[in-house]
Amino acid sequence: MTQTIILQVIIFFTDHKTSLKHERGLVEKEVKALKDVKLLPVAVGPHVNIRELETITDSKLDIIHVGQYEKPETVSTRIWHGTAASNNVNL
């Protein structure tokens, strides 16, 4: 018998900083208050603040970083694999 774990997932895209410097603490507080929700940030392009994203995710392995001209099909595949890996799902 296989146990399936279903989590709520918030996928969000960013191409720069996710918040203003004075709002960063508020964003981190709100994110940490979410229960049973997996955050899956998709960082697009060269100007993304990866360190900032690391503070709001469970693991830096959850961050998907793609080029700004990446094909949508490639991005969607990376998102699917990232979500499946987070939930221990075999593809």
**pLDDT single digits (tens) 18-39:** 666 777 777 778 877 887 788 8
Distance CA 52, CA 32 (A): 14
CA–CA separation, 73 and 34 (whole Å): 29
The per-residue pLDDT for 5 is: 67
Strands 8-14 and 64-66: unpaired
Tally the domains of the chain: 1
pLDDT at 42: 92
Does a structural domain hold residue 60? yes
Local structure of 23: helix, strand or coil: helix
pLDDT of residue 86: 53
In a domain, 59, yes or no: yes
**Domain that residue 49 falls in:** 8-86
The answer to whether 10 and 40 are in contact (CB under 8 A) is yes
Let me know if residue 52 belongs to a domain.
yes
For the four alpha carbons of 18, 23, 29 and 34, in that order, the dihedral sign comes to negative
Residue 14 sits in a domain whose CATH number is 3.40.50.410
